[in-house]
Structure 1
Amino acid sequence: MPDAHADGVLDFLARIPAAERSPELGQRALELLTGPAQGSQERREVVITHAYLVGWLVTAALDSPPWRWVSVGAANAGLTIIRYTPRSPSSLLTLNDLDHLPPGLRWTGLPPHLRP
């Protein structure tokens, strides 16, 4: 991780309980939720989860450095779609779409300076 971001990222991580930030949990999520379906049948997964896991999956899908998951600003109830196909890089089709929510509920969970 670049020195310029280390203090902010490490301070953020320190506020998350250790049991919720284990490398094993992150790796297990990648094993279960990423990659093309096996065989010829299409697979669609709906995962309802915390925004931090969305950041982790998006970071992996974009081949970003692992520490970057902390900078993915996913809101509560945001819709993110990642497409995995054989012999192609993963594609981020939708990130944090909130159009399905009434305006008063959009951007809940994010600090005021990040709300539209």
Structure 2
Amino acid sequence: MATRHLYVVRHGEADPFGELTDAGRRQSELLGERLAPLPVDAVWHSPLARAERSARIIGGRLGGAAVREAAELVDHVPYVPDEPPPGWAGFFDGYDAAEAASGRELADALVRRFARPADTVTHEVLVTHAYPAAWLVRHALDAPPARWIGLNCANTALTVIEYRDGAGSTVLTYNDMGHLPPELRWTGFGPGVRP
């Protein structure tokens, strides 16, 4: 049965200039080691430097998987609700109709390209950002568009989604940090108590 296995990850921890930190490089190495036993066909990455550098590190552990850019994976706000949740109202302040439409077009392109079964069995790693990862999970669960809000993921946390021909999508795991030691988990989240 034709199945697309997507391994969706947020890039490694980066500094304010988009450069991977030492922690981000180590996170990417550990994720690559975790994925190494899988028959990965390709590692796709966002055009942004932090995702591209993470993808190169991950791909270097995967025994020859092609590492390529995919513009659809760029960091963007996929959907701006008409009435955002109160805690998010300030985040959406200033998004005009043109920006919202552009984000929605990118989100639609992301889904068209990756959120569907392949012609054969494929295993693809997508190195992206928190919001596109959340959008793919929201789409796979067929949740309302605004539900992407609050689906955050840690740096190099693993989300696995399968798309089977004739069977729809299955979210196998979300925000899995099992490959990271405790000191490298939960980066990319705000302050708070974490398990």
Give me the TM-score of the superposition, normalised by structure 2: 0.51
Question: CA separation in 2, counterparts of 1:56 and 1:14?
Answer: 20
> What are structure 2's unaligned runs of at least 5 residues?
1-80
Higher helix share: 1
Deviation at 1:71, TM superposition (A): 1.6
Higher strand share: 2
The aligned residue for residue 113 of structure 1 is 192
Identity %: 41
Question: CA separation in 2, counterparts of 1:104 and 1:53?
Answer: 25
The aligned residue for residue 11 of structure 1 is 90
The aligned residue for residue 27 of structure 1 is 108
Question: CA separation in 2, counterparts of 1:93 and 1:114?
Answer: 25
The aligned residue for residue 36 of structure 1 is 117
SS across alignment from 1:113 = coil
Question: CA separation in 2, counterparts of 1:56 and 1:105?
Answer: 24
> What are structure 1's unaligned runs of at least 5 residues?
none
Root-mean-square deviation over aligned CA pairs: 2.6
1:3-29 per-residue CA deviation (whole Å, 9 max, x = no partner) reads: 6x633344333488x48x611111111
Aligned residue pair count: 112
After the TM superposition, which segments of 4 or more aligned residues of structure 1 sit over 6 Å from their partners?
A: none
Question: CA separation in 1, counterparts of 2:171 and 2:113?
Answer: 18
